[in-house]
Structure 1
Amino acid sequence: MPLEALAFPDRHDLARRINDRFDPMDAQGVVEAALTENGHVALVSSFGTESIVLLDMVSRVDQTAPVLFLETGMLFAETLDYQKDVALILGLTNVQIVRPAPEDLAAKDPFNRLHIGNTDACCDIRKVLPLERALTPFDGWITGRKRAHGGQRAQLDLAEVEGDRLKFNPLAYWSGQELRDYMKAHGLPNHPLTAKGFQSVGCAPCTSATKPGEDPRAGRWRGSDKEECGIHFIDGKAVRG
């Protein structure tokens, strides 16, 4: 029975229903429920090193589902090429490129150097504000966050509430090995930078390769306490390091 038919009084009940209904490893089931039972929902994807797993799952439900891709203006060239290749391979026809507002860049980062002195402010204008605008018409969104990433992600549920939207984390309980096994089983291509030691890929100036045994996100904002770019929230507030 669709969750909406159960007429729960608020989205917190809907999130609890998702968490109770699905086996923690049933990511495909969560994706299908998110896209078919919970209003207008988008996948937000970085087209990073692990993104293709969720992109593939979404394509198996609806190749016309909206996919929001944050193109910050500072991504690796390999990521931009990978995004185009993956969309073509999976037949995704509704990838929406989300970019920073030109007026924000002109006012706050005209020389593309803001990341050197204030990474939070840089993420604000290149990720947080653009995504807030892009999500305006949506009732919920799907993310690729996982408990295995550690830090503030270690207690993730399959579904949660962020403001007035549902937020789905279908891969919350998956390990890196399970992701790699899925990619191999379905013949999915790796991000080109994985061959160069990148386990997680964000903007080029703030991402480095990782060493064997390091946390998958150790190369993000290396040398700082920052853990998140700010597009994920707790109690309606942007999460920052």
Structure 2
Amino acid sequence: MAEAAARQLDVIDARPAFTQADADALNARFAGVETDAMLRTLFAEGVLGNVATVSSFGTESAVLLHLIAQADPSVPVIFVDTLKMFPETLEYRDTLVAAFGIQNSFTVVPDPDVIAKKDETGLRWSYDPDGCCEIRKVEPMARAKEGLDTWISGRKAFQSVTRQNIPRFEVENGRLKLNPLGDWTKADLETYFEAHNLPRHPLEAQGYLSIGCEPCTSKVQEGEDPRAGRWRGWDKVECGIHTPSTPIGDAEDPANQPVF
């Protein structure tokens, strides 16, 4: 497993042929099954193929990472460092990896040549957040998923209106996408945090409820959507990695603009 994990970020993307029928069958099979039991079964049976977890190491990330580490600590964890992250997030990543005994932790970064060409000043976030996300997060994430049959996401339905009715299993461009916490509520997360005494993100107590890149993240006010602090002032609610039809094109060319 470790050897396969070490290779997976470098192989050619073969677009594994999972179908909607596969996702439907898995949704039916695991309907009503506890999340931890589902993960243990999936990893033990190997039905997910070459699998990895994608984590932002945000305020809620510890729950999914703990569940996965308890089920199989060798399952790889991928973190996209946009080079615009809070220092506290990088520290939190190291804390959780060590605390949970995660055996295969990978960090991917933007292509330096692309950054030099398309964001030389480092200020693209201030006038083109979609383009900034494309080169700093979407493209590196696409690279990290090459060779994976399945990737595990930490999305939850309660986080925003754009994330409602999330199934546990879905298909994204022929690749299986697993959302173990899709139906979890904020109360469920809090209960798990307390029951397992999980470390908290250092910025959560300051009012940062959803944490992304430092320039595009602000504190959430009482009564606001948990993701209201992301890209505040812009008509934007997602970075692009959770949009099934997102093409990886030239963010400078309007004809090739990805859908965010």
Alignment TM-score, normalising by the size of structure 1: 0.91
2:34 pairs with one of 21, 26, 47: 26
Counterpart residue number, 2:54:
44
**Alpha-carbon offset, residue 140 of structure 1:** 1.0
Q: Secondary structure at the match of 1:205?
A: helix
Alignment check: 8 A CA contact 2:78 2:108 kept: yes
2:156 pairs with one of 143, 146, 165: 146
1:16 aligns with 2:24: yes
**Alpha-carbon offset, residue 33 of structure 1:** 4.6
Q: Secondary structure at the match of 1:233?
A: coil
**Alpha-carbon offset, residue 239 of structure 1:** 4.9
1:169 pairs with one of 172, 175, 179: 179
Q: 1:24 to 1:156 in 2, by over 3 A?
A: farther
Q: Secondary structure at the match of 1:226?
A: coil
Alignment check: 8 A CA contact 2:245 2:259 kept: no
**Alpha-carbon offset, residue 24 of structure 1:** 5.3
Alignment check: 8 A CA contact 2:159 2:225 kept: yes
Q: How does 1:24-173 map to 2 (within 5 A)?
A: 26-35=34-43, 36-173=46-183
Which structure 1 segments of 5+ residues have no match?
1-8
Alignment check: 8 A CA contact 1:229 1:239 kept: no
Q: 1:126 to 1:20 in 2, by over 3 A?
A: same
Amino acid aligned to 2:118 = K
**Alpha-carbon offset, residue 32 of structure 1:** 3.2
> What count of residue pairs does the alignment treat as equivalent?
232
2: CA distance between counterparts of 1:140 and 1:30? 15
- After superposition, the C-alpha distances for 1:75-134 in whole angstroms (9 at most, x for unaligned) are 001000000011000001211001001011011011110001100100001110001111
Which structure 2 segments of 5+ residues have no match?
1-16, 248-257
Q: 1:34 to 1:206 in 2, by over 3 A?
A: farther
Amino acid aligned to 1:156 = I
2: CA distance between counterparts of 1:140 and 1:93? 18
**Alpha-carbon offset, residue 23 of structure 1:** 3.4
Alignment check: 8 A CA contact 1:22 1:29 kept: no
Q: 1:32 to 1:11 in 2, by over 3 A?
A: farther
2: CA distance between counterparts of 1:53 and 1:60? 11
1: CA distance between counterparts of 2:126 and 2:201? 26
**Alpha-carbon offset, residue 235 of structure 1:** 4.0
Q: Secondary structure at the match of 1:161?
A: strand
Alignment check: 8 A CA contact 2:18 2:171 kept: no
Alignment check: 8 A CA contact 2:173 2:244 kept: no
**Alpha-carbon offset, residue 151 of structure 1:** 2.2
2: CA distance between counterparts of 1:123 and 1:170? 25
Counterpart residue number, 1:217:
227
Alignment TM-score, normalising by the size of structure 2: 0.85
Amino acid aligned to 1:118 = D
Alignment check: 8 A CA contact 1:34 1:168 kept: no
Q: Secondary structure at the match of 2:182?
A: coil
Percentage of pairs with the same residue:
43
**Alpha-carbon offset, residue 45 of structure 1:** 0.2
Q: 1:103 to 1:148 in 2, by over 3 A?
A: same
1: CA distance between counterparts of 2:66 and 2:106? 16
Alignment check: 8 A CA contact 1:160 1:167 kept: yes
Stretches (4+) displaced over 6 A: none
